[in-house]
Amino acid sequence: MAFKYVILGGGVAAGYAAREFANQGVKPGELAIISKEAVAPYERPALSKAYLFPEGTARLPGFHVCVGSGGERLLPEWYTEKGISLILSTEIVKADLASKTLISAAGETYKYQTLIIATGSTVIRLPDFGVQGADAKNIFYLREIDEADKLVEAIKAKKNGKAVVVGGGYIGLELSAALRINNFDVSMVFPEPWCMPRLFTAGIAAFYESYYANKGVNIIKGTVAVGFGTNGKGEVTDVKLKDGRVLEADIVVVGVGGKPLTTLFKGQIEEEKGGIKTDSFFKTSVPDVYAVGDVATFPMKLYDEIRRVEHVDHARKSAEQAVKAIFASEHGKPISEYDYLPYFYSRSFDLSWQFYGDNVGETVLFGDSQPTSPTHKFGSYWIKDGKVVGAFLESGTPEENKAIAKVARVQPPVESLDQLATEGLTFASKI
């Protein structure tokens, strides 16, 4: 089969790219999306949130893209109407960029004129580290919807049981909350001194750890899982920790990070910082090949640095930028460079935070960060070279979140950190 445009991967970036292709007037038959997954592109963040809830559960078709950003929901029929081929349950196992050919596991060949690589990330698995018993049944990872379905089945089968969550990042935090809401007895284990250490300061983390503890989550820090016990059915029964403790477990969920899926292209394309190197238009080193979303290492104009971003907002925006760039170059028109402001969010229990900008330099905590306070609302600023470069806010209103986004973009100067701490959100609202 041959197409003018092929998007390899059927995740968030692919869905937003498809919408932009339609906006740009792609003709029926010109575009194909090839995806390992069995369903049309959906908003992946739902998998660790409402997908796992016992009530108010999210299910497809409810969260197909582009509902996550308040846009039109692209149902499978939408692709049919636009003449976009959705080639699902199809894993590409070989890519030859020189001959513009992709080959699937079933041996089918797909030719393209222009390729967008949108393969996203895969999870890091414990057997990769040789952790004993790590291939036992009921040890779960969460990246794709079929994995979420297996977890949902286990939650039902092991009703009111014991769960151990390995990892203290956002997946660990969201999964611990979801399992607790499902009435599991939850322990969360991670080696660092506090949760979400890549973003949270000790002050921010203290709030979430107390909040989780008050909800009944048992947080175990400073140690790692080194082995798993199993029963006669091969199901996990316990988690052995490095410090000697043993935790009973009916379900284990592992969230210890991800890595971009670039293996198909090794040696054929320029890479940097673990991803596929692109310019501000998401063009790679290979002509007619673009890379977007989690796999792209791109110039972040705001910080004059090359970076890779594994967040949904960038997946959406980079996809749109690449498609705009493809059509602009076909019509010989210029478009603006990608100028991304990092944005990341998470939700768990009745908490919701947003972060914008860069988390470097000194920090200032502001607001009411008492976990038991009914009016808790707090945040943090990051200050570098006398300017605010990053801002975090828990329980912000839409206006307040807009204000912290503006601060991170404008990078206003600050004279006194004490004054910034006292002013808190008022500082952002004035910008």
One residue of 45, 342, 379, 390 binding ligand FAD per CB under 6 A: 45
**CA gyration radius for the chain?**
22
- Which residue in the shown chain puts its C-beta closest to ligand FAD? 11
242-275 per-residue burial string, b: 16 or more CB within 10 A, e: under 16 = eeeeebebbbbbbbbebebbbebbeebbebeeeb
What's the burial of 280, exposed, middle or buried (CB within 10 Å: 0-12/13-18/19+)?
middle
Q: Is the distance from CB of 175 to CB of 151 less than 8 angstroms? A: no
294 binds ligand FAD (CB under 6 A): yes
How crowded is residue 124: how many other Cβ atoms within 10 Å of its Cβ?
15
- Alpha-carbon distance of 137 to 225, in angstroms, equals 16
One residue of 6, 35, 317, 324 binding ligand FAD per CB under 6 A: 35
320 binds ligand FAD (CB under 6 A): no
Identify the sign of the CA torsion 63, 314, 9, 24: positive
One residue of 293, 299, 342, 424 binding ligand FAD per CB under 6 A: 293
> Which two three-digit tokens encode residue 126?
């414990």
303 binds ligand FAD (CB under 6 A): no
327 binds ligand FAD (CB under 6 A): no
Query: Which is nearer to ligand FAD, 226 or 276 (by Cβ)?
Result: 276
Contact pattern from residue 160 through residue 199 relative to ligand FAD, giving x for each residue in contact according to CB under 6 A and a dash for the rest: -----------x----------------------------
- Alpha-carbon distance of 5 to 323, in angstroms, equals 10
One residue of 3, 79, 115, 119 binding ligand FAD per CB under 6 A: 119
Identify the sign of the CA torsion 33, 35, 39, 42: negative
Stretch that binds ligand FAD, among 58-66, 137-145, 226-234, 393-401 (CB under 6 A): 137-145
Minimum distance from residue 163 beta carbon to ligand FAD (Å): 16
Binding residues for ligand FAD restricted to 11-30, rule: CB under 6 A? 11-14
Query: Which is nearer to ligand FAD, 143 or 383 (by Cβ)?
Result: 143
142 binds ligand FAD (CB under 6 A): yes
Query: Which is nearer to ligand FAD, 43 or 235 (by Cβ)?
Result: 43
Tokens 């959705």, residue? 86
315 binds ligand FAD (CB under 6 A): yes
33 binds ligand FAD (CB under 6 A): no
40 binds ligand FAD (CB under 6 A): no
Binding residues for ligand FAD restricted to 334-373, rule: CB under 6 A? 344-346
- Alpha-carbon distance of 169 to 20, in angstroms, equals 32
What are the DSSP E strand ranges found in 358-398? 362-368, 377-384, 387-394
Minimum distance from residue 325 beta carbon to ligand FAD (Å): 17
Look at residue 24 and give its three-state secondary structure: coil
Size of the site for ligand FAD (CB under 6 A): 36
276 binds ligand FAD (CB under 6 A): no
Query: Which is nearer to ligand FAD, 18 or 118 (by Cβ)?
Result: 118
307 binds ligand FAD (CB under 6 A): no
Query: Omega into 66 within 30° of 0, i.e. cis?
Result: yes
One residue of 135, 192, 288, 310 binding ligand FAD per CB under 6 A: 310
One residue of 143, 180, 317, 324 binding ligand FAD per CB under 6 A: 143
185-215 per-residue burial string, b: 16 or more CB within 10 A, e: under 16 = bbbbbbbeebbbeebbbeebbbbbbebbeeb
Binding residues for ligand FAD restricted to 232-251, rule: CB under 6 A? none
Beta carbons within 8 Å of 191's beta carbon, 6+ residues apart: 221, 222, 223, 224
What's the burial of 107, exposed, middle or buried (CB within 10 Å: 0-12/13-18/19+)?
exposed
Binding residues for ligand FAD restricted to 64-103, rule: CB under 6 A? 91-92
Query: Which is nearer to ligand FAD, 249 or 264 (by Cβ)?
Result: 264
Minimum distance from residue 383 beta carbon to ligand FAD (Å): 24
Stretch that binds ligand FAD, among 42-50, 72-80, 276-284, 412-420 (CB under 6 A): 42-50
Q: Residue 317: enclosing H or E segment and its boundaries?
A: helix 312-330
Residue numbers at the binding site for ligand FAD (CB under 6 A)? 9-14, 34-37, 44-45, 47-48, 91-92, 118-121, 142-144, 171, 261, 264, 293-294, 310-313, 315, 344-346
